[in-house]
Amino acid sequence: QLQLQESGPGLVKPSETLSLTCSVSGGSISSRSYYWGWIRQPPGKGLEWIGSIYYRGSTYHNPSLKSRVSISVDTSKNQFSLKLNSVTAADTAVYYCARHPSIAVLSRFDPWGQGTLVTVSS
C-alpha cells in the first residue's frame, strides 16, 4: 500500500526558506505512471495546489506563488521535496504531499500524506 510522509521544520522565520520532503513507501517514485504533488491548507481555510513533479524532473507550479517555489525529486531516496522562499505569515499552513494516479498532472490526488504544519513566525 502506497504511503507518503511529509517531514521538515515546523517553524520557519519570515523571509527564510521553507523546506519539506515527502518520503514515499510501498511504491517507486520512479514509476512512469505518476506525477507527485504538493498542496497546502492555511489553518481553517481551503486547499491550494502548490505544484507537481514527474520523476524525470518535469515540474508545474501555481503561478500565484510566482517564482518562490522549487520542487525537486530524488529517485535514489524515493523522495520529492518542496522549497518555498521568502516566506511570510501568509505561508503558514498544513502542507500535504500527494500522488497523481496518472501520467498527467491534470488529474486527481490519491493518496495523500498526513500533512505537516509549518508556522512562519519570528
Partner 1 sequence: DIQMTQSPSSLSTFVGDRVTITCQANQDISNDLNWYQQKPGKAPKLLIYDASNLETGVPSRFSGSGSGTDFTFTINSLQPEDIATYYCQQYENLPLTFGGGTKVEIK
Site residues (CB under 8 A) for partner 1?
A: 46-49, 60, 62-64, 96, 98, 105-115
Decide: 74 and 83 in contact? Cβ < 8 Å. Answer: no
CB-nearer residue toward partner 1: 16 or 62: 62
Omega before 111 cis (within 30°)?
yes
Closer by beta carbon to partner 1, 76 or else 106: 106
The smaller minimum CB distance to partner 1, of residues 16 and 65, is found at 65
Q: Report which residue type is found at 29.
A: I
CA 19 vs CA 53, 88, 101: distances in Å? 16, 14, 24
Closest separation between CB of residue 63 and partner 1, Å? 6
Closest approach of partner 1 to the CB of residue 4, in Å: 9
